[in-house]
Amino acid sequence: MLKNLLLVLDAGPIAEQARELALSLAQTHGAGLTALSLIDTAPLHAGEAAPAGGSAFLEARNAKWEAEWLEGARERIVHMREAAAAAGVTVSSVLAEDDQPDVALLNQARMHDLVVASSDCHLGAESRPHDTHWLSRYLADAPRPLLLLTPAYRPQAADAGFVVLAYDGSTSAARALQQFAFLGVGHERPRKVVAIHPDAAEAGRLADEGAAYLASHGLPAQPVPIASAARPRQLLLAELDSQHASLLVMGTFGHRSWLDRLFGAATETMIARCTCPVLLCH
């Protein structure tokens, strides 16, 4: 049962959508919400060549950057508090400066049931190019599941579309089904368990296995076996599109997971094209 959420608060356009989603979840589940504003200070500590007498300039520039990042973070926290009050949601806030933002996120996540974030976070200045390295490092040892919004995210009505649960029989996929069942997120929507395997019999067995687990928790799901040797990412994306999926649930790591690492170079298309939120479980 979802009791408390941790939102990674940022200024990107999808980060704003993540804020709205977190508020909606908190309202629906009567959960508390913590807004975490992360500032990645690594650029301030990175060695940078400077001409003679240039060190004073670099120090002044870095101090200016840090002040601007802090001001922006505080403004976002104020706006978040205002939005939460309007929604009737109890919110607390944390502002963390760290040159290892994934560690700061991990420390905060331990006290929450679910982390909500977007992959377009800048962790400081909006002019700084965003990346997903801090998220991939968090997911490598994530204590809590992550609900991620990608740049292709498109909001849908609360009751629209299927929840698609990707199941390959790996440990991480099994945990993802369990986290979905226990959290209660997306339970109001119909569900499909998608299993992809070159062998039709094995695809069917896996889909049935995942659906049976959910059914044991009162969450009936349609098994969808896909027998194909094609790239599973492309097959899964096609299935998400055809079902107008409202949520994708999957594990991020597994000893034989066909999804590999979500943020690896081979899965860039997953991040670029997934239009629904993704519930990721280690």
pLDDT digits (tens, 9 = 90+) for 75-117: 888 999 999 999 999 999 988 876 677 788 889 999 999 999 9
Q: What is residue 53's predicted lDDT score, i.e. its pLDDT? A: 57
Q: What is residue 187's predicted lDDT score, i.e. its pLDDT? A: 94
Q: What is residue 48's predicted lDDT score, i.e. its pLDDT? A: 56
Write the CA distances from 134 to 39, 100, 162, 257, integer angstroms.
11, 8, 29, 22
How far is residue 221's CA from residue 211's CA, in Å, rounded to a whole number?
A: 5
Residue 49: other Cβ atoms inside 10 A: 6
Q: What is residue 89's predicted lDDT score, i.e. its pLDDT? A: 92
Q: What is residue 150's predicted lDDT score, i.e. its pLDDT? A: 84
* Size of the chain in residues: 282
Instruction: At 121, give phi and psi (nearest 5°).
Output: -65, 145
How far is residue 169's CA from residue 174's CA, in Å, rounded to a whole number?
A: 7
Question: Which residue numbers in the chain have pLDDT < 50?
Answer: 127, 129, 254-267
Q: What is residue 261's predicted lDDT score, i.e. its pLDDT? A: 43
Q: What is residue 267's predicted lDDT score, i.e. its pLDDT? A: 43
Q: What is residue 242's predicted lDDT score, i.e. its pLDDT? A: 85
pLDDT mean across residues, the chain:
82
Q: What is residue 262's predicted lDDT score, i.e. its pLDDT? A: 44
Q: What is residue 152's predicted lDDT score, i.e. its pLDDT? A: 82
Q: What is residue 258's predicted lDDT score, i.e. its pLDDT? A: 42
Edge to edge, the sheet with strand 32-40 lists 91-98, 32-40, 4-9, 114-118, 146-149, 278-281, 247-251, 163-166, 191-197, 222-227
Q: What is residue 172's predicted lDDT score, i.e. its pLDDT? A: 87
Structure tokens at 51: 């001409």
How far is residue 162's CA from residue 221's CA, in Å, rounded to a whole number?
A: 10
pTM score: 0.85
Q: What is residue 204's predicted lDDT score, i.e. its pLDDT? A: 97
Q: What is residue 282's predicted lDDT score, i.e. its pLDDT? A: 74
